[in-house]
Structure 1
Amino acid sequence: MSTTPGSADSATQRPIGIDELLERIRADYERIGAQEAYEAAQAGDALLVDIRYAALRERDGLIPGAHVVERNELEWRLDPQGSHRLPEATSHALRVIVICNEGYASSLAAQSLHQLGLHRATDLVGGFQAWRGAGLPVE
């Protein structure tokens, strides 16, 4: 069986849980708080991307100006080289702030965007709930 150089054989590699995976992922970039995310979006320095599923958006509302992108479409919509990208996704230097409900799925999504070369991608600590809890605008 061949393995990727520098990686352990998958049969001998110790499985990790989601908490450890999130810790490892988050160590590779700086996450952002609600107020800082709001200010970056207001200044035009970041693209807010809401990946929450429809039922949560309907229940809790939307962040004004955030792009709603279903999680299963995220990479296609933000890849600057992709044919299905958002009009704003024109550069790998784009600062993307991914927002889920509580700040867990968004970390996994940010890692995926990093793998596409969007190295300024980050996620919102505490997700939409932190945004709302900070008293920031919700429609």
Structure 2
Amino acid sequence: MNIKSSSQLVAEALKEIKTISTNEAFQIVESNNCNLIDIRDIRELEKEGRVESSHHIPRGMLEFWLDPNSPYFKEGKLDQNKEMVLFCAGGMRSALAAKSLKEMGFEKVSHIDGGFGAIKQSKFKIV
């Protein structure tokens, strides 16, 4: 059995997805051209705080909440026409999640390099 490592999966995902800096993400959010999606676990948000203008969608529910045919679809939660900008704690889960959304057919998808760790050092407001 040849099992790929998680780091191998992330490396493959990074070749296929768009990675943006916190500054690029801040500009897109400020111009109201994206859905800023925090895919961290709820316990991470409670412990570390959250980005003021972000939507929380736990990683385990992302595909289900964004699939209009899923019983878990969150109607009206996000603007499906805007870019989906994902982040997690450090950028690994969001890379995999961005790849998954691209595979679902979302064309405007990116993730933030460095995740919440980098976001805390940027212009974003943490609440």
- TM-score interval, smaller chain: 0.7 to 0.9
The SS at the match of 2:62 is helix
- 1:131/1:50 Cα in 2 relative to 1: closer, same or farther (>3 Å)? same
| Bigger CA radius of gyration | 1
Bigger relative contact order (CA 8 A; separation at least 6) = 2
The SS at the match of 1:16 is coil
For each residue in 1:38-94, what CA deviation from the matched residue of structure 2 results, as whole angstroms up to 9, or x when unmatched? Answer: 110111111101111122111111111110111111112223554513415454x53
Structure with greater helix share of residues: 2
In structure 2, what is the equivalent of residue 63 of structure 1? 51
The SS at the match of 2:36 is strand
- 1:86/1:101 Cα in 2 relative to 1: closer, same or farther (>3 Å)? farther
**Aligned pairs, number:** 126
TM-score normalised by the chain length of structure 1: 0.80
Unaligned runs of 5+ in 1: 1-10
**Percent identity at matched positions?**
24
RMSD after superposition: 1.9
Aligned structure 1 segments of 4 or more residues deviating by more than 4 angstroms: 80-83
In structure 2, what is the equivalent of residue 87 of structure 1? 76
TM-score normalised by the chain length of structure 2: 0.87
Contact 1:79 1:89 in 2 (8 A): no
Q: CA deviation at 1:109?
A: 0.7
In structure 2, what is the equivalent of residue 125 of structure 1? 113
